[in-house]
Homo-oligomer: A and B are copies of this chain.
């Protein structure tokens, strides 16, 4: 079974180097949605935390020889890929939580970017946590 998705927009950032993870990122950038989807942002406000699901579009094809990987940070040994945030995974799906700074007519300005410029966005959801 193959599942098909189409990007709804893309990530734009001028940062030349990116932090390793959204949880330690102060990098700002824009999420630019295709015009057809703008109405889907209604109700979003500055200060909201949002989940961005995206495609690791520059990752090479995955092979089963990469199921164990050594995370680039920390002094641990190899781990199963599902215990890492590696962009090199069976399905090249990424997930970051960012903070909305500003909504314009064409984009969402956010803080917390750890994606490369041009990354295709697949979905945006509210960051709902147990109260």
Contact = CB atoms under 8 A, between A and B. Distances in A.
Nearest to A5: B91
A126 B43 contact: no
In this complex, the interface size class of chain A, counting residues with CB under 8 Å from chain B, is 35 or more
Contact of A43 (B5, B36, B80): B80
A39 B41 CA distance: 39
A43 B83 contact: yes
B43 A79 contact: yes
Report copies per complex.
Answer: 2
Contacts of A130: 23-24
A40 interface: yes
Nearest to A126: B83
B4 A90 contact: no
Please give me the 3 A-B residue pairs with the lowest Cβ-Cβ distance, nearest first: A42-B80, A43-B79, A82-B124
Given A42-B80, A83-B43, A95 B23 contact: no
Contacts of A39: 67-68, 80
Contacts of A80: 39-44
A95 B5 contact: no
Given A67-B40, A128-B85, A53 B95 contact: yes
